[in-house]
Amino acid sequence: MSLSMYQASVPVFRHHITALAKILAKGEEHANARKIDHSALIQCRLYPDMFPLARQVQIASDTAKSCAARLAGVEVPSWEDNETTFAQLKERCEKTDKYLATFKPDQIDGSEDREVVLKMRDGQMNFTGQQYLVGFATPNFYFHITTAYALLRQCGVEIGKRDFLGA
């Protein structure tokens, strides 16, 4: 049996966005237990030219919702990127999961050859649905959730591989 486009996208994104919400909850608990200002973690960066934790979560969310919408051939919803608290970031993850749950396999399966066009600052990128999912959206999603994990770990939050994997 082959892996469908739906199976390779929506359930994967839902699983990991839920794991990200749990990692954020552990970050909040860590900050509370040590009386650390939450913004110190939420605005933490790995390097000055990299995005902070809040933006990493927003981009992971955007990548998941945008991928599902594009593969289904529907308009990508636009959400404000205004989260500044752990509660808001966890809510963003939950909102993403709820949005992803609205997609059914028949909306996404068969999108392997669907044209996906991304408008970028310096032009546009053209993909087939399969190229977009496998070569762009999935790696981008994992990059940002991995970076969010690394930021919290760097701040001393006691999380491990099982947390990242959502075990």
Q: What is the pLDDT of residues 17-52, one digit of tens each?
A: 999 999 999 999 999 999 999 999 999 999 999 999
Residue 1 maps to a domain: no
Distance CA(30)–CA(151), nearest Å, equals 13
| Residues β-bridged to residue 117 | 126
Residue 3 maps to a domain: no
Summarised one tens digit per residue, pLDDT across range 79-108 is: 999 999 999 999 999 999 999 999 999 999
Residue 69 maps to a domain: yes
Residue 51 maps to a domain: yes
Handedness of CA 9, 15, 18, 22 (dihedral sign): negative
Residue 1 has pLDDT above 80, yes or no: no
> Using the 8-state DSSP alphabet, how is residue 100 labeled?
H
Residue 2 maps to a domain: no
Neighbours of 24 (CB within 10 A): 25
Residue 70 has pLDDT above 80, yes or no: yes
CATH of the domain at 92: 1.20.120.450
Residue whose C-alpha is closest to residue 137's, from 128, 147, 150 = 128
Return the pLDDT at 120: 87
Handedness of CA 7, 11, 15, 17 (dihedral sign): positive
Residue 132 maps to a domain: yes
Distance CA(153)–CA(93), nearest Å, equals 19
Name the burial class of residue 167, with classes exposed (0-12), middle (13-18) and buried (19+) by CB atoms within 10 angstroms of its CB. exposed
Return the pLDDT at 167: 80
Summarised one tens digit per residue, pLDDT across range 74-86 is: 999 999 999 999 9
Domains in the chain: how many in total? 1
Residue 44 maps to a domain: yes
Name the burial class of residue 96, with classes exposed (0-12), middle (13-18) and buried (19+) by CB atoms within 10 angstroms of its CB. buried
Residue 150 maps to a domain: yes
Summarised one tens digit per residue, pLDDT across range 134-162 is: 999 999 999 999 999 999 999 999 999 99
Q: Residue 25: give the domain boundaries.
A: 10-165
Q: How far is CA 36 from CA 6, 40, 155, in A?
A: 41, 7, 10
* pTM for the full predicted model: 0.96
